[in-house]
Chain A
Amino acid sequence: MRDIARKELLENLTTYRFSILTGLIFSMMLISIIVSYGDYHLRVENYNILRPGPKEREKVILPPEPLSIFARGLDANAGRLYQLSFRGIDVQPSQQSINRVSSLFSLPDMLFVTRVILALAALLFSFDAICGEKEQGTLKLMLAGRTRRASVVLGKLAGRYLLVIVPFAVLFILSAIVVSLLPDVHAGTEYWIRLAMILAGSALYVASFIALGTLISSVVHRSATSMMVALASWVLLVFVVPNMGATVAQAIGDVPPADRVEMKTRLAVIQSIFETQQSMKNAKQRDYSRIMKQIREANTGMFQTYRPELNRLISLTRSIARCSPAGALEFLSTELSNTGLSRDLGIKDAIWMFVERNTNRFAGLEKGEVEQFEYRAATPGEQIAGVALPDALLLLIMPAVLVALAVGSFLRYDPR
């Protein structure tokens, strides 16, 4: 098996395919780092402009996450300014959303390169692993010796996997080093631990696609057909399943849009202010605590009834999107980069609880200083044992199943 893997490596290293695909991965990673760092830098500048002073406790903004250079996820969302008052929570727009052209497209970060380009490279490296040998007539010769079929397929798989993952891993580590040296990036131990885990997830993801390509190659008998099926699978797994997952979940989730919830709360707040003002028209002493209480009840009611429904929709979307390794990688990498769904929801929960505890102080109805807002992000260990566990497990299981299927399929493959 080792010999076959070595042969695969040596044979492919000098091919046109290796140079063009590695060149593509390199140029994409370079572009992604340049563009993503620029985007991060702009967010840091915006954060520095908006960072509230020690007395401005009614404003909350979180610093951009350096790992968003690798997986941007929801970092621009989490890094907006939240203006808190007794009326509720106003969310300011992110600086990036001002350029409306960007809302039609998505940032090509490192996660995008891995999810889209690396998966394509993996399939293009593996689609002819078996059927290509058959077309050249070398498969018969290979099996005529004492080489076991399982060794052939595993050797080919290992050789081609190394052809993709080694250049990628080297470039990824180089990118991580370069980014850690850039201004505004604090690269502590956690930065390296998280990146190592993302790299491990990416390695499993690539393994899934190499195994898939080999499986397709061991089912069909012509390289041209194998490439067609491989590209169709790539489109299905990378674009259709995750994106269709979001579309289907929204269509069947039956969750009211945020606009409705916002309108209900807004009108309830206006109504309570209006009615209280009318009833206090002749009062000598104006008691605003009633308005505050009603506003607080309206906001709490909205958050408590809507939030479980939103969680259900998110959970449904995740379940559908995870059917593809691309979906699982998206969730795993964004969680590990601290730019994922759980952090976004966690920040909102923390802000909500903060407002709940301090409403009366915001309104001046209670003496004492407003607390200092604090948010503690989950550690990589907590994430991998919690919210990222299903995605990590899926990324482990998928290549294992596909390798087993490829071996099984090749055992019955006609090499003639």
Chain B
Amino acid sequence: MLSHLIRKELRENFLNIRFIAACGVSLVLMISSIAVLTRSHEEQVRDYQDRVRQQDEFIDRYGHLNRLGWMSALTRGPSQLQALVLGVDREAHQDNFVSNPVPVLLSRLDFAAIVTIIMSLVAILFSYNAVSGEREAGLLRQILASGISRNALLAGKFAGGLVSLLIPFTVSVLAGMLFLALNSSLQLQTADFSVFALLLAASWLYVSVFHSIGIFFSTRSQTSGEAILKSLFAWVILVLVIPNAAPFLAAQFYPIPSATRLAQDRYMITDRERDAIVMQRRNAMLEGSFADLKGIVDLSPNEIQERLKSDPRIGERYRQYAKEYDQIINITNKEQGEKYGKIEEVFLQRSRVQEKLAAILTSASPLSNFVFVATDLTETGLAADDHWERVSGEYSNALSGYADVQYRKAVEKDPTFDYNDYLDLRARPRFQYRPAGLMERAAPDLLQWGVLIMFNLIFFAAAFVSFQRYDVR
């Protein structure tokens, strides 16, 4: 009986204009969005590789300890699957004075936007009149009078509607993914195909929630007009209001200290104040144990070298002075770093809590849960940001460790060697970014998957309960 009902639903839906419209809309949007974003991605990759090469060549030629952090600043390359899901749009952060401001005003259309906004709306259009439409046409009484149970009827409508909705959607997603797979510039790995499969599964769950919402409101309404209005109301709240308002409400409920003030404190503590302390300690050293070098240390490097060559005793004293001065710098750097670290820790702790609160508030909407899953799977979300921070931080430490060793070697050879002098860094470790593994990416979002399943169960069960008491006349 159930299969018969499903077949009937499928047949009716396939002949309906909304099925043809859904096929056309999802196919055209999906392919065009992926094609345009793939082109954009190819250019970004080319540009990124070129920039990395130029920066590497620059360090080879002009490397020196003083500005190493500045000249080796790491920028993140585009994610392999950014043509599918843009995720956190780094352009919208406007990090540079010359950043393009348009992405702040207009977000770009990607796979995630098509699924979350357009396909969820299509799902409601496929289901809002499932029950109320049959009642209006006078068919519901006849069907139930023929001995078909209410549960079987609703299950048939649910399954038939969902299958006829997911067919055009799945075809368009597969066509988009095939486009990506055939694109030679992307060089997809096996894990990427697993990402495709997981993305498709998450999209099914998400679209299915809105299909259930449509059916639920159909069982709560006597007319189709009433059902579509109620469903659209729920859609607006779940898709447009909760996810967009929640992060800003979180910022208001749980404010964090000014980030710019923190950056200013950092500059004051680890730069200006540090320099002043170093100078003070150096002067004290010159007044005390190295008073004999007072007239020498302020000479130009070449003049110092000449003095050291002409007088070996001064040479030895100067070596001791350079060593102690180096120690002063290291100790002061450590002290000032710890001082700033305490302030930063408080800030980071509060901002983590605010972010967590925002994530909890937004998870009241299926859209946010889907967005978290999709962005994390495609390495374009917050987890990828954290991974990048960790990996790039490790590299920066490795590079500065290497540079320090090279610098010490250079100072040992020549005590007048300065941190502004050219340092040969050609054999330095090179940065090679490896994204987190698939399991590492997927595991943190198990809760989001669970919430999506729960949304499905709640609306599906609510529709069944509501239909038991539905007045079919």
Whether B236 contacts A108 by the Cβ 8 Å rule is no
Whether A244 contacts B251 by the Cβ 8 Å rule is no
Chain A 107-155 residues near chain B, CB threshold 8 A: 107-108, 112, 116-117, 120, 124
- Asked if A260 CB lies within 8 Å of chain B CBs, one says yes
- Asked if A245 CB lies within 8 Å of chain B CBs, one says yes
Which one, A77, A228, A240, A334, contacts B125 given CB within 8 A? A228
User: Across the two chains, which residue of chain A brings its CB closest to B42?
Assistant: A251
Whether B95 contacts A91 by the Cβ 8 Å rule is yes
User: Contacts of B244 on A, CB cut-off 8 Å?
Assistant: 105-108, 112
Chain A 341-398 residues near chain B, CB threshold 8 A: 341, 344-345, 348, 351
- Asked if A9 CB lies within 8 Å of chain B CBs, one says no
User: Contacts of B75 on A, CB cut-off 8 Å?
Assistant: 259, 263
- Contacts between chains A and B (CB distance < 8 A), count: 280
Which one, B29, B252, B375, contacts A38 given CB within 8 A? B252
- Asked if B170 CB lies within 8 Å of chain A CBs, one says no
User: Contacts of B263 on A, CB cut-off 8 Å?
Assistant: 92-93
CA distance A274 to B63 in the complex (A): 9
Most buried by A among B18, B44, B100, B232: B100
User: Contacts of A317 on B, CB cut-off 8 Å?
Assistant: 102, 106
- Asked if A189 CB lies within 8 Å of chain B CBs, one says no
Chain B 324-373 residues near chain A, CB threshold 8 A: 351, 354-355, 358-359, 362, 368, 371
Given the known interface contacts A20-B230, A247-B108, the answer about A99 and B67 at a Cβ–Cβ threshold of 8 Å is no
Which one, B94, B300, B421, contacts A91 given CB within 8 A? B94
CA distance A285 to B53 in the complex (A): 37
Minimal beta-carbon separation of B363 from chain A (angstroms): 10
Most buried by A among B54, B259, B303, B359: B259
User: Contacts of A321 on B, CB cut-off 8 Å?
Assistant: 106
User: Contacts of B47 on A, CB cut-off 8 Å?
Assistant: 256-257, 260
User: Contacts of B89 on A, CB cut-off 8 Å?
Assistant: 103
| One of B149-157, B221-229, B308-316 contacting the partner | B221-229
Given the known interface contacts A21-B229, A270-B70, the answer about A99 and B251 at a Cβ–Cβ threshold of 8 Å is yes
User: Contacts of B39 on A, CB cut-off 8 Å?
Assistant: 251
Given the known interface contacts A100-B382, A267-B55, A270-B62, the answer about A307 and B94 at a Cβ–Cβ threshold of 8 Å is no
Whether A100 contacts B385 by the Cβ 8 Å rule is yes
Contact mask for chain B residues 239-261; partner A; CB cutoff 8 A; 1 contact, 0 none: 01101111111111001101111
Whether B32 contacts A244 by the Cβ 8 Å rule is yes
User: Across the two chains, which residue of chain A brings its CB closest to B64?
Assistant: A274
- Asked if B105 CB lies within 8 Å of chain A CBs, one says yes
User: Contacts of B240 on A, CB cut-off 8 Å?
Assistant: 108, 112, 116-117
User: Across the two chains, which residue of chain A brings its CB closest to B117?
Assistant: A239
- Asked if B33 CB lies within 8 Å of chain A CBs, one says yes
CA distance A215 to B244 in the complex (A): 32
- Asked if B58 CB lies within 8 Å of chain A CBs, one says yes
- Asked if A73 CB lies within 8 Å of chain B CBs, one says yes
Whether A17 contacts B225 by the Cβ 8 Å rule is yes
User: Contacts of B233 on A, CB cut-off 8 Å?
Assistant: 20, 24
The interface on chain A, measured as residues whose beta carbon lies within 8 A of the other chain's beta carbons, has a size of 106
User: Contacts of A108 on B, CB cut-off 8 Å?
Assistant: 240-241, 244-245
Minimal beta-carbon separation of B56 from chain A (angstroms): 11
Given the known interface contacts A239-B113, A267-B71, the answer about A310 and B258 at a Cβ–Cβ threshold of 8 Å is no
Whether B420 contacts A274 by the Cβ 8 Å rule is yes
Chain B 13-70 residues near chain A, CB threshold 8 A: 17-18, 21, 25, 29, 32-33, 36-37, 39-40, 43-44, 47, 51, 54-55, 58, 62, 64, 67, 70
User: Across the two chains, which residue of chain A brings its CB closest to B258?
Assistant: A49
Whether A98 contacts B98 by the Cβ 8 Å rule is no
Minimal beta-carbon separation of B457 from chain A (angstroms): 25
Whether B70 contacts A334 by the Cβ 8 Å rule is no
Which one, B17, B245, B358, contacts A99 given CB within 8 A? B358
- Asked if A325 CB lies within 8 Å of chain B CBs, one says no
Whether B107 contacts A225 by the Cβ 8 Å rule is no
Whether B88 contacts A89 by the Cβ 8 Å rule is no
Which one, B55, B108, B256, contacts A250 given CB within 8 A? B108
User: Contacts of B36 on A, CB cut-off 8 Å?
Assistant: 244, 247-248, 251
Whether B71 contacts A266 by the Cβ 8 Å rule is yes
User: Contacts of A124 on B, CB cut-off 8 Å?
Assistant: 229, 232
Whether B93 contacts A97 by the Cβ 8 Å rule is yes
- Asked if A14 CB lies within 8 Å of chain B CBs, one says no
CA distance A266 to B33 in the complex (A): 34
Which one, A102, A105, A258, contacts B98 given CB within 8 A? A258
- Asked if B438 CB lies within 8 Å of chain A CBs, one says no
User: Across the two chains, which residue of chain A brings its CB closest to B67?
Assistant: A270
CA distance A100 to B108 in the complex (A): 18
Whether B96 contacts A341 by the Cβ 8 Å rule is no
Whether A228 contacts B17 by the Cβ 8 Å rule is yes
Which one, A35, A259, A281, contacts B245 given CB within 8 A? A35
Given the known interface contacts A89-B97, A103-B93, the answer about A20 and B248 at a Cβ–Cβ threshold of 8 Å is no
Which one, B70, B109, B129, B300, contacts A266 given CB within 8 A? B70
CA distance A370 to B94 in the complex (A): 27
Chain A 237-284 residues near chain B, CB threshold 8 A: 239-240, 242-251, 255-263, 266-267, 270-271, 273-274, 277-278, 281-284
CA distance A192 to B255 in the complex (A): 31
Whether B100 contacts A313 by the Cβ 8 Å rule is yes
CA distance A232 to B28 in the complex (A): 13
Whether A267 contacts B58 by the Cβ 8 Å rule is yes
CA distance A330 to B105 in the complex (A): 8
CA distance A273 to B419 in the complex (A): 13
User: Contacts of B97 on A, CB cut-off 8 Å?
Assistant: 82, 88-91, 348, 351
Which one, B98, B229, B302, B358, contacts A303 given CB within 8 A? B98
- Asked if A235 CB lies within 8 Å of chain B CBs, one says yes
Minimal beta-carbon separation of A69 from chain B (angstroms): 12
Chain A 202-230 residues near chain B, CB threshold 8 A: 224-225, 227-228
Given the known interface contacts A225-B17, A251-B40, the answer about A243 and B113 at a Cβ–Cβ threshold of 8 Å is yes
User: Contacts of A16 on B, CB cut-off 8 Å?
Assistant: 225-226, 229
Whether B95 contacts A20 by the Cβ 8 Å rule is no
- Asked if A80 CB lies within 8 Å of chain B CBs, one says yes
User: Contacts of A303 on B, CB cut-off 8 Å?
Assistant: 98
Whether B118 contacts A239 by the Cβ 8 Å rule is yes
Which one, A92, A257, A345, contacts B260 given CB within 8 A? A92
Whether A261 contacts B300 by the Cβ 8 Å rule is no
- Asked if A404 CB lies within 8 Å of chain B CBs, one says no
User: Contacts of A117 on B, CB cut-off 8 Å?
Assistant: 236, 240
Whether B243 contacts A105 by the Cβ 8 Å rule is yes
CA distance A271 to B371 in the complex (A): 43
- Asked if B381 CB lies within 8 Å of chain A CBs, one says yes
Which one, A227, A256, A278, A341, contacts B102 given CB within 8 A? A341
- Asked if B415 CB lies within 8 Å of chain A CBs, one says no
Whether A101 contacts B232 by the Cβ 8 Å rule is no
Contact sample, A vs B, 23 pairs, CB 8 Å cutoff:
A17-B229, A38-B251, A41-B252, A42-B252, A50-B258, A77-B104, A90-B97, A91-B96, A92-B263, A95-B260, A101-B358, A102-B358, A108-B245, A246-B108, A247-B36, A247-B109, A263-B51, A263-B54, A271-B58, A271-B62, A273-B67, A281-B302, A282-B300
**Apart from A92-B259, A93-B95, A103-B88, what are 8 other A-B pairs with CB-CB below 8 Å?**
A81-B260, A99-B247, A99-B256, A124-B232, A239-B118, A247-B36, A251-B36, A257-B44
Closest 7 CB pairs of A and B: A102-B247, A101-B358, A38-B252, A246-B106, A243-B109, A92-B260, A247-B108
